[in-house]
Structure 1
């Protein structure tokens, strides 16, 4: 079994009264669903495994609940209060002593501290580590989509903004989260990868140059497709309608899975993303036409200045 945050998953299932259980695993660990399904069948449950793509708790397979009593969603914490969902997120421990190299990058005596859901259970130990070195760590609550203190998502950086610090440490993998924290807060962001044991300073300048180029290219577009996601936690209908009202060249597209082929077949000159914010930032290279964030489309439509640029978040 995978190492999870909660050890009472079977008790919670028993208390739910469910007889048929649906399982949803994200792409990176989908193969683990087989062994978990076997455990459940031994306990007398009927099990259905979701084969749909899954990229987060915003991507629930609600259709499968038509055939099951409850959906066990693995790998993520809840982003809303959808009923009949049991969340079981994964936990990854950190070698606290590996944080030693971070000390050389910290300039002040107080820093904000944020991480992803896999490491939130380690935040107290990390605070103690730095406190012993004379550095105070501020861990703050986030928004509705981030139920754990210090937790950030690629679409929500409230926990970072709420620290009020001008220097923030992000513990986790990848470059997008620390860049997002930097753009959302304006703070100096130190990123520590607990697996590679690497320390770097987030530099959003390259990303901003890339985004500026996409905006400039989109200015000559003859048509804009406003992407309206069908996914449970990504459907921002009011936002899509407001953006479509900014230009007579814009049309709303209702879509489930946003893929390069799907957009290529639709044939718009440029697209505006109201689905997962990372589509515009992380996945732009996959798409043949410019993919703008809501704020970037507002810049194209001249209702926002470049100097008022902001990263897209879902609140």
Structure 2
């Protein structure tokens, strides 16, 4: 795993005239927090390390920032502009030869290419590597919540919507993002894990069957809690208000952390998630009742048909 280079960060902190620095790292990088904090202390800064869970740049440690001049958020590109926050992406290299694993599965000579932020710096090299093997790989320029070219998030698949391609290669670990790419684009998707040296054709049908079952269960609910996040990067207040207006049994519920215990204590028969989309898709097995997406709630309320199913995204 790559390490965090502090040299540029220290220069930026000095340029800003910062004295007291708050650090925030996502779960996969938290073990590097102690070393980074000590490096900054040696450079003359006073440091606070946020120990709360962090799920992305949409989940800034604002409480820690209240005790510091600057918040340094590690691992993600910014999803919202904040003058006192420095987002420091975490770059993770992989062996370009791992692309060989995907080549036999590709059916098109012109494909889309996407990845997560930690690998985005390698996409130009990946494009060249694929070109040497007869594949034209196209990336879409970054914008908004995904400023890096070819970058997708669990809540945003704009970079995967590439005109003129029928097949997309996703580079990264896990299946959540490539399944999201397939649902968002209706394209054929190949998922390449460059560390496991494994490539697979993505099949979202199993997820869709589970989601259909949840929608049918949700139709039997006597009450609906519309979950509204208090995290600024996940707060979709207008959407929550609109969804609550669709059914007289719906009530808006504000939460900082969406947890199984919190939902049990609130006692609704079904919850509609307007916070991070991954909560509904990734964490459903943890919840005692259906947790559905806004688009799925529209199906429950008869405002959308199953044939018009859409993946939940935050634009």
**TM-score normalised by the chain length of structure 1:** 0.97
1:201 Cα shift? 0.7
1:7 Cα shift? 5.1
* 2:261 corresponding residue in structure 1: 261
1:176-203 Cα offsets, whole Å, 9 max, x none, are 1000000000000000001101100110
Contact 2:2 2:92 in 1 (8 A): no
Cα RMSD between the aligned structures? 1.3
**Alpha-carbon distance between aligned partners in 1 of 2:187 and 2:128, rounded to the nearest angstrom:** 23
* 2:156 corresponding residue in structure 1: 156
Matches within 5 A, 1:224-263: 224-263=224-263
* 1:223 corresponding residue in structure 2: 223
1:117-173 Cα offsets, whole Å, 9 max, x none, are 010111011111110111100010244100000000000000001354210000000
* 1:201 corresponding residue in structure 2: 201
1:5 Cα shift? 7.7
**Alpha-carbon distance between aligned partners in 1 of 2:143 and 2:203, rounded to the nearest angstrom:** 25
1:53-74 Cα offsets, whole Å, 9 max, x none, are 1010000011222110000001
Matches within 5 A, 1:120-159: 120-159=120-159
* 1:97 corresponding residue in structure 2: 97
Contact 1:111 1:165 in 2 (8 A): yes
Contact 2:2 2:93 in 1 (8 A): no
**Alpha-carbon distance between aligned partners in 2 of 1:202 and 1:173, rounded to the nearest angstrom:** 13
Contact 1:142 1:152 in 2 (8 A): no
* 1:293 corresponding residue in structure 2: 293
1:97 Cα shift? 1.1
**Alpha-carbon distance between aligned partners in 2 of 1:7 and 1:180, rounded to the nearest angstrom:** 36
**Alpha-carbon distance between aligned partners in 2 of 1:134 and 1:9, rounded to the nearest angstrom:** 40
Q: Aligned to 1:8, what secondary structure does the other structure show?
A: helix
Matches within 5 A, 1:27-176: 27-176=27-176
Distance 1:143 1:243, change over 3 A: farther
**Alpha-carbon distance between aligned partners in 2 of 1:125 and 1:114, rounded to the nearest angstrom:** 13
1:308 Cα shift? 0.5
* 2:21 corresponding residue in structure 1: 21
Q: Aligned to 1:80, what secondary structure does the other structure show?
A: coil
Contact 2:50 2:61 in 1 (8 A): yes
Q: Aligned to 1:77, what secondary structure does the other structure show?
A: coil
Distance 1:83 1:163, change over 3 A: farther
**Alpha-carbon distance between aligned partners in 2 of 1:207 and 1:282, rounded to the nearest angstrom:** 10
Contact 2:73 2:85 in 1 (8 A): yes
Gaps of 5+ in 2: none
Distance 1:223 1:289, change over 3 A: same
Distance 1:137 1:272, change over 3 A: same
Distance 1:25 1:312, change over 3 A: same
Number of equivalences: 315
Q: Aligned to 2:126, what secondary structure does the other structure show?
A: helix
Contact 2:102 2:199 in 1 (8 A): yes
1:3-32 Cα offsets, whole Å, 9 max, x none, are 348851111111111110000011122121
**Alpha-carbon distance between aligned partners in 2 of 1:167 and 1:6, rounded to the nearest angstrom:** 39
Gaps of 5+ in 1: none
Q: Aligned to 1:99, what secondary structure does the other structure show?
A: helix
**Alpha-carbon distance between aligned partners in 1 of 2:101 and 2:35, rounded to the nearest angstrom:** 39
**Alpha-carbon distance between aligned partners in 2 of 1:24 and 1:57, rounded to the nearest angstrom:** 10
